[in-house]
Amino acid sequence: MTIVCSPIGIIYSPYGSPEGTPIQPVYSKGVQGRVEIFPDYRAGLADLEGFSHIHLIYFMHRVEGFSLTCTPFLDTRTHGIFATRAPRRPNPIGFSVVELLGIDGGILTIGGVDIVDGTPLLDIKPYVPDFDVRLQVKTGWYEHAENRSQVIADNRFVLTDKKKSDSDADV
């Protein structure tokens, strides 16, 4: 099976590299970015301005390779990649819920951005609390995470020459 996705736009932010980027939108309050929607897709923005928040689904273009286990930013223990939001995944697809501050033509101004500058955008979906909020949830290992104070990305998921040659590392 072959799956092909094409970007519908580009996300721009003040973060030039993964290292130093907030690990979730909740940790980037007050940080603004913008999304440029390519002309062929701008008609799809009709009626989006009525929503205060949107889901951005994007391709993490700065991620190389993957590991099925990792030590996430918010813990000191190793977990399976699918039990984390770590970026080095088999398919490096990211999502963020951001505030939609405005739309001017094909440019969206967003708040609470936690995305690296120049990231290809795959899709936008409106945030709807009736669909998206769950009140009775379990959060697995996160309930007892040992490093919940780390809210900015370090270099653990950035490939260096040493990490590229050490396939058993928890990166």
Tens-place pLDDT, residues 14-43: 988 877 777 676 766 788 999 999 999 999
What does the pLDDT read at residue 163?
44
Tens-place pLDDT, residues 108-144: 999 999 999 999 999 999 999 888 888 887 766 666 7
DSSP the chain: -------SEEEE-S--SSTTSBSSGGG-TT-EEEEEEPGGGGGGGTTGGG-SEEEEEEE-TT--S--SEE--TT-SS-EEGGGS--S--SS-EEEEEEEEEEEETTEEEEES--S-TTEEEEEEEE--HHHH--SS---GGGGG-S-TT--B--STTS--HHHHH-TTS--
Tally of CB atoms within 10 A around 154: 12
What CATH number labels 9-150? 2.40.30.70
Tens-place pLDDT, residues 51-103: 999 999 999 998 888 999 988 877 788 999 999 888 889 999 999 999 999 99
pLDDT band, very low/low/confident/very high, at 170 (cuts 50, 70, 90): very low
What does the pLDDT read at residue 158?
62
Tens-place pLDDT, residues 38-62: 999 999 999 999 999 999 999 999 8
Domain ranges of the chain: 9-150
What does the pLDDT read at residue 27?
65
